[in-house]
Structure 1
Amino acid sequence: MPASSAPPQLASPAPKVTHHLLNYRLRLIARYLILTLGSLIVIIPIYLAIVNSLLVPSQLAHQPPPFFPTNPQWHTYPDAWSSGHLGVYIRNSLIQTIIIVSLQIVTSVLAAFAFAFLEFPFKRTLFVIFLSTLMIPFEVTVTQNLSTISSLGWMNTFQGLTVPFLATGFGVFLLRQAFLSLPPELREAALLDGYGNVRFLTRVVLPLSRPVIAALAVFSFLGSWNQYLWPLLVSGNDNKIRTVQIGLKQLAATQLDQINVSLAGTVIAFLPLIILLIIFQKQLVRSLTAGSVK
Protein backbone atom coordinates (compact mmCIF):
# COMPACT_ATOMS: atom_id res chain seq x y z
CA MET A 1 0.00 0.00 0.00
CA PRO A 2 1.32 3.41 -0.81
CA ALA A 3 2.17 5.52 2.17
CA SER A 4 -0.45 8.16 2.89
CA SER A 5 0.81 11.68 2.37
CA ALA A 6 0.92 13.92 5.43
CA PRO A 7 -1.51 16.88 5.39
CA PRO A 8 0.15 20.22 4.65
CA GLN A 9 0.85 22.31 7.71
CA LEU A 10 -0.20 25.94 7.79
CA ALA A 11 2.39 28.55 8.62
CA SER A 12 1.97 29.90 12.12
CA PRO A 13 0.86 33.56 12.23
CA ALA A 14 2.42 33.96 15.67
CA PRO A 15 5.58 35.82 14.53
CA LYS A 16 3.53 38.36 12.55
CA VAL A 17 1.12 38.96 15.43
CA THR A 18 4.02 39.30 17.85
CA HIS A 19 5.70 41.82 15.54
CA HIS A 20 2.57 43.99 15.32
CA LEU A 21 2.06 43.79 19.09
CA LEU A 22 5.64 44.86 19.68
CA ASN A 23 5.27 47.84 17.33
CA TYR A 24 2.05 48.86 19.06
CA ARG A 25 3.69 48.73 22.48
CA LEU A 26 6.69 50.73 21.28
CA ARG A 27 4.43 53.42 19.82
CA LEU A 28 2.42 53.50 23.03
CA ILE A 29 5.57 53.88 25.13
CA ALA A 30 6.83 56.65 22.84
CA ARG A 31 3.54 58.52 23.16
CA TYR A 32 3.58 58.30 26.95
CA LEU A 33 7.19 59.47 27.03
CA ILE A 34 6.34 62.52 24.88
CA LEU A 35 3.29 63.31 27.02
CA THR A 36 5.33 62.91 30.21
CA LEU A 37 8.04 65.21 28.87
CA GLY A 38 5.48 67.82 27.86
CA SER A 39 3.83 67.60 31.27
CA LEU A 40 7.14 68.10 33.04
CA ILE A 41 7.93 71.14 30.89
CA VAL A 42 4.65 72.70 32.02
CA ILE A 43 4.62 71.55 35.65
CA ILE A 44 8.25 72.13 36.71
CA PRO A 45 8.21 75.97 36.36
CA ILE A 46 4.95 76.11 38.33
CA TYR A 47 6.38 73.83 41.01
CA LEU A 48 9.59 75.88 41.25
CA ALA A 49 7.59 79.11 41.58
CA ILE A 50 5.63 77.60 44.49
CA VAL A 51 8.79 76.24 46.15
CA ASN A 52 10.75 79.47 45.71
CA SER A 53 7.87 81.46 47.19
CA LEU A 54 8.30 79.45 50.41
CA LEU A 55 12.07 79.84 50.69
CA VAL A 56 14.10 82.42 52.59
CA PRO A 57 15.55 85.01 50.13
CA SER A 58 19.08 83.88 50.94
CA GLN A 59 18.23 80.33 49.86
CA LEU A 60 17.22 81.50 46.39
CA ALA A 61 20.86 82.32 45.61
CA HIS A 62 22.06 78.79 46.37
CA GLN A 63 23.33 76.70 43.48
CA PRO A 64 21.53 74.45 42.94
CA PRO A 65 18.49 75.96 44.70
CA PRO A 66 16.53 73.72 47.07
CA PHE A 67 13.97 71.55 45.31
CA PHE A 68 11.82 71.28 48.43
CA PRO A 69 11.34 73.84 51.23
CA THR A 70 12.59 72.41 54.52
CA ASN A 71 11.37 75.45 56.47
CA PRO A 72 8.48 76.91 54.42
CA GLN A 73 7.82 80.61 54.88
CA TRP A 74 4.02 80.63 54.68
CA HIS A 75 3.86 84.29 55.73
CA THR A 76 4.94 85.33 52.21
CA TYR A 77 1.38 84.80 50.93
CA PRO A 78 -0.41 87.15 53.37
CA ASP A 79 2.50 89.58 52.92
CA ALA A 80 2.02 89.53 49.14
CA TRP A 81 -1.75 89.90 49.50
CA SER A 82 -1.53 92.91 51.82
CA SER A 83 1.55 94.75 50.55
CA GLY A 84 0.64 94.22 46.89
CA HIS A 85 -3.07 95.09 47.35
CA LEU A 86 -3.84 91.96 45.35
CA GLY A 87 -7.42 91.84 46.59
CA VAL A 88 -8.28 95.04 44.70
CA TYR A 89 -6.36 94.02 41.59
CA ILE A 90 -7.89 90.54 41.46
CA ARG A 91 -11.37 92.04 41.88
CA ASN A 92 -10.72 94.40 38.97
CA SER A 93 -9.40 91.57 36.81
CA LEU A 94 -12.46 89.46 37.61
CA ILE A 95 -14.82 92.28 36.64
CA GLN A 96 -12.94 92.93 33.42
CA THR A 97 -12.68 89.24 32.54
CA ILE A 98 -16.33 88.40 33.29
CA ILE A 99 -17.54 91.27 31.09
CA ILE A 100 -15.24 90.36 28.20
CA VAL A 101 -15.91 86.61 28.36
CA SER A 102 -19.69 87.00 28.61
CA LEU A 103 -20.04 89.44 25.73
CA GLN A 104 -17.49 87.67 23.55
CA ILE A 105 -19.55 84.49 23.83
CA VAL A 106 -22.77 86.37 22.98
CA THR A 107 -21.32 88.17 19.96
CA SER A 108 -19.48 85.09 18.73
CA VAL A 109 -22.57 82.87 19.00
CA LEU A 110 -24.77 85.32 17.11
CA ALA A 111 -22.22 86.02 14.38
CA ALA A 112 -21.30 82.35 13.98
CA PHE A 113 -24.97 81.37 13.70
CA ALA A 114 -25.48 83.95 10.97
CA PHE A 115 -22.44 82.77 9.02
CA ALA A 116 -23.38 79.11 9.44
CA PHE A 117 -27.15 79.06 8.82
CA LEU A 118 -28.34 82.34 7.33
CA GLU A 119 -28.08 83.65 3.80
CA PHE A 120 -27.32 87.32 3.17
CA PRO A 121 -25.35 89.40 0.66
CA PHE A 122 -21.54 89.35 0.84
CA LYS A 123 -21.62 86.54 3.39
CA ARG A 124 -18.30 84.99 2.34
CA THR A 125 -16.65 88.40 1.98
CA LEU A 126 -17.65 89.45 5.48
CA PHE A 127 -16.44 86.14 6.91
CA VAL A 128 -13.05 86.60 5.23
CA ILE A 129 -12.87 90.07 6.78
CA PHE A 130 -13.58 88.53 10.17
CA LEU A 131 -10.78 86.02 9.65
CA SER A 132 -8.36 88.70 8.51
CA THR A 133 -8.59 90.34 11.93
CA LEU A 134 -6.82 87.29 13.36
CA MET A 135 -3.69 88.25 11.42
CA ILE A 136 -3.54 91.83 12.75
CA PRO A 137 -1.49 92.12 15.98
CA PHE A 138 -3.11 94.06 18.78
CA GLU A 139 -0.12 96.41 18.92
CA VAL A 140 -1.02 97.68 15.43
CA THR A 141 -4.40 98.98 16.58
CA VAL A 142 -3.57 99.98 20.16
CA THR A 143 -2.85 103.63 19.31
CA GLN A 144 -6.13 104.15 17.45
CA ASN A 145 -8.09 102.25 20.09
CA LEU A 146 -6.55 104.37 22.83
CA SER A 147 -7.41 107.56 20.92
CA THR A 148 -11.02 106.38 20.51
CA ILE A 149 -11.37 105.49 24.18
CA SER A 150 -9.90 108.85 25.19
CA SER A 151 -12.28 110.78 22.90
CA LEU A 152 -15.25 108.93 24.41
CA GLY A 153 -14.12 109.85 27.93
CA TRP A 154 -13.62 106.21 28.93
CA MET A 155 -10.11 106.48 30.34
CA ASN A 156 -9.84 104.99 33.85
CA THR A 157 -13.15 103.14 33.43
CA PHE A 158 -14.18 99.54 32.93
CA GLN A 159 -15.78 100.50 29.62
CA GLY A 160 -12.35 101.47 28.36
CA LEU A 161 -10.89 98.21 29.62
CA THR A 162 -13.48 95.95 28.02
CA VAL A 163 -15.21 97.48 24.97
CA PRO A 164 -12.34 96.94 22.47
CA PHE A 165 -12.44 93.20 23.22
CA LEU A 166 -16.18 92.46 23.13
CA ALA A 167 -15.96 90.76 19.72
CA THR A 168 -13.38 88.27 18.51
CA GLY A 169 -12.75 86.82 15.08
CA PHE A 170 -11.33 83.69 16.65
CA GLY A 171 -14.55 83.02 18.55
CA VAL A 172 -16.67 83.53 15.43
CA PHE A 173 -14.50 81.15 13.43
CA LEU A 174 -14.41 78.50 16.17
CA LEU A 175 -18.17 78.47 16.73
CA ARG A 176 -19.00 78.67 13.03
CA GLN A 177 -16.99 75.53 12.39
CA ALA A 178 -18.72 73.82 15.30
CA PHE A 179 -22.17 74.85 14.04
CA LEU A 180 -21.39 73.62 10.51
CA SER A 181 -20.44 70.20 11.91
CA LEU A 182 -23.99 69.66 13.20
CA PRO A 183 -26.10 67.31 11.02
CA PRO A 184 -28.16 69.29 8.47
CA GLU A 185 -31.13 67.05 9.29
CA LEU A 186 -31.47 68.92 12.59
CA ARG A 187 -32.09 72.16 10.74
CA GLU A 188 -34.67 70.51 8.49
CA ALA A 189 -36.45 68.88 11.44
CA ALA A 190 -36.51 72.20 13.30
CA LEU A 191 -38.09 73.93 10.29
CA LEU A 192 -40.75 71.22 10.07
CA ASP A 193 -41.53 71.70 13.77
CA GLY A 194 -41.99 75.41 13.20
CA TYR A 195 -38.80 76.56 14.91
CA GLY A 196 -37.58 80.00 13.95
CA ASN A 197 -33.95 81.04 14.04
CA VAL A 198 -34.01 82.04 17.72
CA ARG A 199 -35.64 78.82 18.92
CA PHE A 200 -33.38 76.71 16.71
CA LEU A 201 -30.34 78.50 18.15
CA THR A 202 -31.36 78.28 21.81
CA ARG A 203 -32.94 74.81 21.83
CA VAL A 204 -30.83 72.88 19.33
CA VAL A 205 -27.56 74.56 18.41
CA LEU A 206 -26.41 75.84 21.80
CA PRO A 207 -27.08 72.62 23.79
CA LEU A 208 -25.14 70.57 21.22
CA SER A 209 -22.26 73.08 21.14
CA ARG A 210 -21.67 73.48 24.87
CA PRO A 211 -18.17 71.90 24.84
CA VAL A 212 -16.96 74.30 22.14
CA ILE A 213 -18.55 77.29 23.88
CA ALA A 214 -16.86 76.23 27.13
CA ALA A 215 -13.53 76.02 25.31
CA LEU A 216 -14.04 79.51 23.90
CA ALA A 217 -14.86 80.76 27.40
CA VAL A 218 -11.60 79.32 28.74
CA PHE A 219 -9.49 80.82 25.92
CA SER A 220 -11.23 84.17 26.38
CA PHE A 221 -10.71 84.04 30.15
CA LEU A 222 -6.99 83.32 29.74
CA GLY A 223 -6.52 86.17 27.28
CA SER A 224 -8.44 88.67 29.38
CA TRP A 225 -6.87 87.70 32.70
CA ASN A 226 -3.31 87.95 31.33
CA GLN A 227 -3.71 91.38 29.72
CA TYR A 228 -1.04 93.86 30.76
CA LEU A 229 -0.40 96.53 28.10
CA TRP A 230 -3.99 97.69 27.52
CA PRO A 231 -4.98 97.96 31.22
CA LEU A 232 -1.73 99.83 31.87
CA LEU A 233 -2.52 102.39 29.15
CA VAL A 234 -6.20 102.85 30.03
CA SER A 235 -5.79 103.03 33.81
CA GLY A 236 -2.99 105.60 33.73
CA ASN A 237 -1.99 106.24 37.35
CA ASP A 238 -5.38 105.24 38.78
CA ASN A 239 -5.00 102.12 40.91
CA LYS A 240 -8.78 101.77 41.28
CA ILE A 241 -9.16 99.86 37.99
CA ARG A 242 -5.68 98.44 37.57
CA THR A 243 -5.60 94.67 37.06
CA VAL A 244 -3.66 91.88 38.68
CA GLN A 245 -0.85 91.79 36.09
CA ILE A 246 -0.03 95.43 36.80
CA GLY A 247 -0.27 94.68 40.51
CA LEU A 248 2.32 91.92 40.16
CA LYS A 249 4.67 94.30 38.36
CA GLN A 250 4.30 96.87 41.13
CA LEU A 251 4.78 94.19 43.78
CA ALA A 252 8.03 93.05 42.14
CA ALA A 253 9.25 96.67 41.98
CA THR A 254 8.57 97.30 45.67
CA GLN A 255 9.90 93.96 46.92
CA LEU A 256 13.34 93.86 45.30
CA ASP A 257 14.91 92.23 48.35
CA GLN A 258 11.94 89.89 48.93
CA ILE A 259 11.74 87.84 45.75
CA ASN A 260 9.81 85.13 47.57
CA VAL A 261 6.99 87.61 48.27
CA SER A 262 6.81 88.51 44.57
CA LEU A 263 6.65 84.82 43.67
CA ALA A 264 3.92 84.29 46.24
CA GLY A 265 1.92 87.04 44.51
CA THR A 266 2.45 85.27 41.20
CA VAL A 267 1.13 82.01 42.64
CA ILE A 268 -1.95 83.80 44.00
CA ALA A 269 -2.57 85.39 40.59
CA PHE A 270 -2.54 82.14 38.62
CA LEU A 271 -4.70 80.18 41.09
CA PRO A 272 -7.96 81.29 39.35
CA LEU A 273 -6.58 79.98 36.06
CA ILE A 274 -5.78 76.59 37.59
CA ILE A 275 -9.26 76.37 39.13
CA LEU A 276 -10.86 77.31 35.80
CA LEU A 277 -8.92 74.67 33.88
CA ILE A 278 -9.83 72.00 36.42
CA ILE A 279 -13.53 72.90 36.23
CA PHE A 280 -13.65 72.96 32.43
CA GLN A 281 -11.22 70.10 31.79
CA LYS A 282 -13.85 67.71 30.44
CA GLN A 283 -15.40 70.34 28.18
CA LEU A 284 -11.99 71.23 26.77
CA VAL A 285 -11.21 67.60 25.96
CA ARG A 286 -14.63 67.09 24.38
CA SER A 287 -14.27 70.21 22.25
CA LEU A 288 -10.82 69.19 21.02
CA THR A 289 -11.95 65.67 20.12
CA ALA A 290 -15.42 66.59 18.80
CA GLY A 291 -14.43 66.15 15.15
CA SER A 292 -12.30 63.04 15.57
CA VAL A 293 -15.21 60.58 15.53
CA LYS A 294 -18.02 60.67 12.98
Structure 2
Amino acid sequence: MRKSIGKKITMYVVLAIGALISLFPFYWAAIGATNESGKLFSKPPVLIPGAKLVENVKNLNEAIDIGRVLFNSLFVAIVYTVLSLLICSMAAYAFAKFRFRGRNIIFGIFLLSMMVPYHATIIPLFKMMANFGWLDTYQALILPNLAYPFAIFLMRQNMLAFPNSLIEAARIDGSGEWKIFFRIVMPSMKPALAATAIFLFLYQWNSFLWPLIALSSNEMYTFPVALSSLFGLSRIDYGQVMSGVTIATIPIIIFFLALQRQFISGMLGSAVK
Protein backbone atom coordinates (compact mmCIF):
# COMPACT_ATOMS: atom_id res chain seq x y z
CA MET A 1 0.00 0.00 0.00
CA ARG A 2 2.78 2.43 0.90
CA LYS A 3 4.68 1.51 -2.27
CA SER A 4 1.58 2.20 -4.35
CA ILE A 5 1.04 5.60 -2.72
CA GLY A 6 4.73 6.42 -3.16
CA LYS A 7 4.59 5.55 -6.87
CA LYS A 8 1.52 7.74 -7.37
CA ILE A 9 3.12 10.67 -5.56
CA THR A 10 6.30 10.30 -7.62
CA MET A 11 4.29 10.09 -10.84
CA TYR A 12 2.27 13.21 -10.05
CA VAL A 13 5.38 15.14 -9.06
CA VAL A 14 7.11 14.21 -12.32
CA LEU A 15 3.98 15.13 -14.33
CA ALA A 16 3.67 18.44 -12.48
CA ILE A 17 7.30 19.29 -13.20
CA GLY A 18 6.83 18.37 -16.87
CA ALA A 19 3.68 20.51 -17.07
CA LEU A 20 5.47 23.50 -15.53
CA ILE A 21 8.39 23.15 -17.93
CA SER A 22 5.99 22.92 -20.90
CA LEU A 23 3.86 25.88 -19.82
CA PHE A 24 6.69 28.18 -18.77
CA PRO A 25 7.48 29.48 -22.31
CA PHE A 26 3.83 30.52 -22.73
CA TYR A 27 3.85 32.18 -19.32
CA TRP A 28 7.11 33.97 -20.10
CA ALA A 29 5.71 35.22 -23.42
CA ALA A 30 2.57 36.51 -21.66
CA ILE A 31 4.67 38.22 -19.00
CA GLY A 32 6.88 39.74 -21.69
CA ALA A 33 3.80 41.16 -23.40
CA THR A 34 3.01 43.15 -20.25
CA ASN A 35 6.52 44.56 -19.71
CA GLU A 36 8.80 46.85 -21.64
CA SER A 37 11.43 45.39 -23.93
CA GLY A 38 14.42 45.88 -21.63
CA LYS A 39 12.96 43.85 -18.77
CA LEU A 40 12.85 40.59 -20.73
CA PHE A 41 16.59 40.06 -20.37
CA SER A 42 17.10 41.59 -16.95
CA LYS A 43 18.80 39.66 -14.14
CA PRO A 44 17.04 38.30 -12.18
CA PRO A 45 14.34 37.77 -14.81
CA VAL A 46 10.99 39.51 -14.37
CA LEU A 47 8.27 36.91 -13.75
CA ILE A 48 5.39 39.15 -12.68
CA PRO A 49 2.98 41.07 -14.95
CA GLY A 50 3.78 44.66 -15.79
CA ALA A 51 1.71 47.64 -16.89
CA LYS A 52 2.76 47.90 -20.55
CA LEU A 53 0.27 45.48 -22.14
CA VAL A 54 -1.98 48.14 -23.68
CA GLU A 55 0.99 50.13 -24.94
CA ASN A 56 2.66 47.05 -26.43
CA VAL A 57 -0.53 45.94 -28.17
CA LYS A 58 -1.09 49.45 -29.50
CA ASN A 59 2.46 49.60 -30.88
CA LEU A 60 2.05 46.12 -32.36
CA ASN A 61 -1.17 47.14 -34.09
CA GLU A 62 0.53 50.20 -35.58
CA ALA A 63 3.36 48.00 -36.85
CA ILE A 64 1.46 45.05 -38.41
CA ASP A 65 -2.33 45.80 -38.24
CA ILE A 66 -3.37 42.98 -35.91
CA GLY A 67 -6.95 42.75 -37.21
CA ARG A 68 -5.92 42.23 -40.83
CA VAL A 69 -3.13 39.79 -40.00
CA LEU A 70 -5.39 37.80 -37.68
CA PHE A 71 -8.10 37.62 -40.36
CA ASN A 72 -5.59 36.42 -42.96
CA SER A 73 -4.23 33.69 -40.69
CA LEU A 74 -7.66 32.50 -39.55
CA PHE A 75 -9.14 32.53 -43.04
CA VAL A 76 -6.23 30.63 -44.58
CA ALA A 77 -5.97 28.12 -41.72
CA ILE A 78 -9.70 27.38 -41.47
CA VAL A 79 -10.34 27.10 -45.21
CA TYR A 80 -7.22 24.98 -45.65
CA THR A 81 -8.19 22.69 -42.77
CA VAL A 82 -11.73 22.12 -44.08
CA LEU A 83 -10.71 21.52 -47.71
CA SER A 84 -7.67 19.42 -46.85
CA LEU A 85 -9.67 17.33 -44.40
CA LEU A 86 -12.25 16.59 -47.09
CA ILE A 87 -9.70 15.75 -49.79
CA CYS A 88 -7.48 13.68 -47.51
CA SER A 89 -10.47 11.77 -46.14
CA MET A 90 -11.69 10.88 -49.63
CA ALA A 91 -8.20 9.78 -50.68
CA ALA A 92 -7.82 7.74 -47.49
CA TYR A 93 -11.20 6.08 -48.06
CA ALA A 94 -10.17 5.12 -51.58
CA PHE A 95 -6.87 3.64 -50.40
CA ALA A 96 -8.49 1.80 -47.50
CA LYS A 97 -11.70 0.39 -48.99
CA PHE A 98 -11.38 0.24 -52.79
CA ARG A 99 -9.54 -2.58 -54.53
CA PHE A 100 -7.74 -1.49 -57.69
CA ARG A 101 -4.55 -2.41 -59.47
CA GLY A 102 -1.45 -0.71 -58.13
CA ARG A 103 -3.15 0.56 -54.97
CA ASN A 104 -0.30 -0.31 -52.63
CA ILE A 105 2.32 0.96 -55.08
CA ILE A 106 0.57 4.30 -55.48
CA PHE A 107 0.17 4.61 -51.73
CA GLY A 108 3.85 3.77 -51.24
CA ILE A 109 4.87 6.44 -53.73
CA PHE A 110 2.62 8.85 -51.91
CA LEU A 111 4.38 8.09 -48.65
CA LEU A 112 7.78 8.46 -50.30
CA SER A 113 6.84 12.03 -51.20
CA MET A 114 7.01 12.80 -47.47
CA MET A 115 10.75 12.14 -47.63
CA VAL A 116 11.35 14.81 -50.28
CA PRO A 117 12.77 17.92 -48.56
CA TYR A 118 10.19 20.67 -48.55
CA HIS A 119 12.79 23.22 -49.65
CA ALA A 120 13.35 21.27 -52.87
CA THR A 121 9.77 21.96 -53.97
CA ILE A 122 9.73 25.69 -53.29
CA ILE A 123 11.24 26.86 -56.60
CA PRO A 124 8.96 24.72 -58.84
CA LEU A 125 5.99 25.69 -56.69
CA PHE A 126 6.88 29.37 -56.93
CA LYS A 127 7.15 29.17 -60.74
CA MET A 128 3.80 27.36 -60.89
CA MET A 129 2.07 29.99 -58.78
CA ALA A 130 3.67 32.76 -60.87
CA ASN A 131 2.40 31.16 -64.09
CA PHE A 132 -1.10 30.94 -62.61
CA GLY A 133 -0.91 34.55 -61.43
CA TRP A 134 -1.60 33.46 -57.87
CA LEU A 135 1.34 35.04 -56.09
CA ASP A 136 0.32 37.23 -53.15
CA THR A 137 -3.16 35.63 -53.03
CA TYR A 138 -4.99 33.28 -50.70
CA GLN A 139 -4.96 30.56 -53.37
CA ALA A 140 -1.18 30.36 -53.23
CA LEU A 141 -1.32 29.63 -49.50
CA ILE A 142 -4.28 27.24 -49.46
CA LEU A 143 -4.21 25.10 -52.60
CA PRO A 144 -0.65 23.70 -53.02
CA ASN A 145 -0.63 21.41 -49.95
CA LEU A 146 -4.26 20.33 -49.75
CA ALA A 147 -3.44 16.65 -50.39
CA TYR A 148 -1.15 16.34 -47.39
CA PRO A 149 0.47 12.87 -47.31
CA PHE A 150 0.61 12.48 -43.53
CA ALA A 151 -3.07 13.40 -43.16
CA ILE A 152 -4.00 10.83 -45.81
CA PHE A 153 -1.89 8.21 -44.03
CA LEU A 154 -3.48 9.02 -40.67
CA MET A 155 -7.02 8.84 -42.00
CA ARG A 156 -6.32 5.67 -43.98
CA GLN A 157 -5.06 3.86 -40.89
CA ASN A 158 -8.30 4.72 -39.08
CA MET A 159 -10.52 3.77 -42.01
CA LEU A 160 -8.87 0.36 -42.29
CA ALA A 161 -10.54 -0.50 -38.97
CA PHE A 162 -14.00 0.41 -40.30
CA PRO A 163 -16.04 -2.80 -40.92
CA ASN A 164 -16.36 -3.68 -44.58
CA SER A 165 -19.62 -5.46 -43.79
CA LEU A 166 -21.34 -2.14 -43.09
CA ILE A 167 -20.25 -0.78 -46.44
CA GLU A 168 -21.40 -3.91 -48.25
CA ALA A 169 -24.75 -3.78 -46.44
CA ALA A 170 -25.22 -0.16 -47.50
CA ARG A 171 -24.42 -1.06 -51.11
CA ILE A 172 -26.95 -3.91 -51.04
CA ASP A 173 -29.57 -1.44 -49.74
CA GLY A 174 -28.89 0.71 -52.80
CA SER A 175 -26.76 3.47 -51.29
CA GLY A 176 -24.28 5.17 -53.61
CA GLU A 177 -20.62 5.63 -52.78
CA TRP A 178 -21.02 9.31 -51.91
CA LYS A 179 -23.88 8.54 -49.53
CA ILE A 180 -21.89 5.72 -47.91
CA PHE A 181 -18.89 7.97 -47.48
CA PHE A 182 -20.72 10.98 -46.01
CA ARG A 183 -23.57 9.25 -44.12
CA ILE A 184 -21.95 6.04 -42.85
CA VAL A 185 -18.16 6.26 -42.84
CA MET A 186 -17.47 9.90 -41.95
CA PRO A 187 -19.71 10.10 -38.83
CA SER A 188 -17.77 7.23 -37.26
CA MET A 189 -14.45 8.97 -38.06
CA LYS A 190 -15.06 12.01 -35.85
CA PRO A 191 -12.17 11.29 -33.45
CA ALA A 192 -9.75 10.74 -36.34
CA LEU A 193 -11.08 13.83 -38.12
CA ALA A 194 -10.57 15.91 -34.97
CA ALA A 195 -6.97 14.73 -34.56
CA THR A 196 -6.22 15.33 -38.25
CA ALA A 197 -7.92 18.75 -38.15
CA ILE A 198 -5.74 19.83 -35.22
CA PHE A 199 -2.62 18.72 -37.08
CA LEU A 200 -3.62 20.48 -40.32
CA PHE A 201 -4.64 23.68 -38.53
CA LEU A 202 -1.35 23.86 -36.65
CA TYR A 203 0.58 23.10 -39.83
CA GLN A 204 -1.03 25.97 -41.73
CA TRP A 205 -1.15 28.40 -38.81
CA ASN A 206 2.58 28.00 -38.13
CA SER A 207 3.64 27.93 -41.78
CA PHE A 208 6.33 30.54 -42.37
CA LEU A 209 8.70 29.81 -45.26
CA TRP A 210 6.18 29.44 -48.08
CA PRO A 211 4.02 32.45 -47.07
CA LEU A 212 7.22 34.50 -46.76
CA ILE A 213 8.09 33.63 -50.38
CA ALA A 214 4.59 33.73 -51.88
CA LEU A 215 3.39 36.96 -50.26
CA SER A 216 4.72 40.42 -51.08
CA SER A 217 2.22 42.90 -49.60
CA ASN A 218 1.69 43.69 -45.94
CA GLU A 219 -2.08 43.34 -46.37
CA MET A 220 -1.70 39.62 -47.11
CA TYR A 221 0.75 38.73 -44.33
CA THR A 222 -0.06 35.91 -41.96
CA PHE A 223 1.00 36.01 -38.31
CA PRO A 224 4.40 34.26 -38.63
CA VAL A 225 5.44 36.50 -41.53
CA ALA A 226 4.10 39.64 -39.84
CA LEU A 227 5.94 38.84 -36.61
CA SER A 228 9.19 38.28 -38.51
CA SER A 229 8.89 41.80 -39.92
CA LEU A 230 9.22 43.17 -36.37
CA PHE A 231 12.85 42.07 -36.19
CA GLY A 232 14.72 45.06 -37.57
CA LEU A 233 18.45 45.52 -38.14
CA SER A 234 19.01 47.93 -35.26
CA ARG A 235 16.34 47.82 -32.55
CA ILE A 236 13.88 45.09 -31.67
CA ASP A 237 10.93 45.84 -29.42
CA TYR A 238 10.47 42.52 -27.65
CA GLY A 239 7.38 43.81 -25.90
CA GLN A 240 5.68 43.99 -29.30
CA VAL A 241 7.04 40.60 -30.30
CA MET A 242 5.81 38.91 -27.13
CA SER A 243 2.41 40.58 -27.54
CA GLY A 244 2.17 39.17 -31.04
CA VAL A 245 3.28 35.71 -29.91
CA THR A 246 0.67 35.71 -27.15
CA ILE A 247 -2.11 36.78 -29.52
CA ALA A 248 -1.02 34.21 -32.10
CA THR A 249 -1.17 31.44 -29.49
CA ILE A 250 -4.77 32.13 -28.42
CA PRO A 251 -6.52 30.76 -31.59
CA ILE A 252 -4.44 27.56 -31.39
CA ILE A 253 -5.52 26.98 -27.79
CA ILE A 254 -9.18 27.70 -28.61
CA PHE A 255 -9.12 25.35 -31.61
CA PHE A 256 -7.56 22.55 -29.59
CA LEU A 257 -9.99 22.98 -26.68
CA ALA A 258 -12.93 22.92 -29.10
CA LEU A 259 -11.82 19.53 -30.46
CA GLN A 260 -10.26 18.23 -27.26
CA ARG A 261 -13.02 15.75 -26.41
CA GLN A 262 -13.01 14.16 -29.86
CA PHE A 263 -9.21 14.15 -29.92
CA ILE A 264 -8.94 12.35 -26.57
CA SER A 265 -11.64 9.84 -27.46
CA GLY A 266 -9.77 9.12 -30.70
CA MET A 267 -6.54 8.50 -28.81
CA LEU A 268 -8.32 6.22 -26.33
CA GLY A 269 -10.12 4.42 -29.14
CA SER A 270 -6.85 3.74 -30.91
CA ALA A 271 -5.35 2.41 -27.66
CA VAL A 272 -8.33 0.06 -27.14
CA LYS A 273 -8.07 -1.25 -30.71
Under a length normalisation based on structure 2, what TM-score does the superposition of the two structures give? 0.92
Query: Shift in Å at residue 208 of structure 1?
Result: 0.5
1:162 partnered with 2:149? no
| Mapping of residues 194-209 of structure 1, within 5 Å | 194-209=174-189
Match of 1:241 in 2: 220
Q: Work out which of the residue numbers 13, 27, 30 in structure 2 matches 1:47.
A: 27
Task: Single out whichever of 263-272 and 26-35 deviates more from structure 2.
Answer: 26-35
Query: Shift in Å at residue 37 of structure 1?
Result: 2.8
| Matching residue's letter, 2:28 | L
| Matching residue's letter, 2:72 | N
Find the residue that maps to 2:272 and give its secondary structure.
coil
Instruction: State the number of aligned residues.
Output: 273
1:284 partnered with 2:239? no
| Mapping of residues 145-294 of structure 1, within 5 Å | 145-236=125-216, 238-253=217-232, 256=235, 258-294=237-273
Residues 97 and 164 in structure 2, CA contact (< 8 A), matched pair in contact too: no
Residues 227 and 244 in structure 2, CA contact (< 8 A), matched pair in contact too: yes
Query: Shift in Å at residue 167 of structure 1?
Result: 0.8
Separation in 1, partners of 2:221, 2:6: 52
Separation in 2, partners of 1:182, 1:244: 39
Change in CA separation of 1:84 and 1:117 when aligned onto 2, cut-off 3 Å: same
Separation in 2, partners of 1:103, 1:58: 44
Under a length normalisation based on structure 1, what TM-score does the superposition of the two structures give? 0.85
Task: Single out whichever of 64-73 and 103-112 deviates more from structure 2.
Answer: 64-73
Residues 116 and 179 in structure 1, CA contact (< 8 A), matched pair in contact too: yes
Match of 1:103 in 2: 83
Larger Rg: 1
Query: Shift in Å at residue 272 of structure 1?
Result: 0.8
Separation in 1, partners of 2:123, 2:6: 54
Identity of counterpart residues, as a percentage?
31
Change in CA separation of 1:33 and 1:129 when aligned onto 2, cut-off 3 Å: farther
User: Please, what is the CA RMSD of the aligned residues?
Assistant: 2.1
| Matching residue's letter, 2:144 | P
Find the residue that maps to 1:251 and give its secondary structure.
coil
Match of 2:56 in 1: 76
| Mapping of residues 15-164 of structure 1, within 5 Å | 18=1, 22=3, 24-69=4-49, 71=51, 73-164=53-144
Query: Shift in Å at residue 51 of structure 1?
Result: 0.7
Change in CA separation of 1:201 and 1:25 when aligned onto 2, cut-off 3 Å: farther
Residues 230 and 236 in structure 2, CA contact (< 8 A), matched pair in contact too: no
* 1:25-63 deviations in Å (ceiling 9; x for gaps): 444344333432332222000001111111133433421
Which runs of 5 or more residues in structure 2 are unaligned?
none
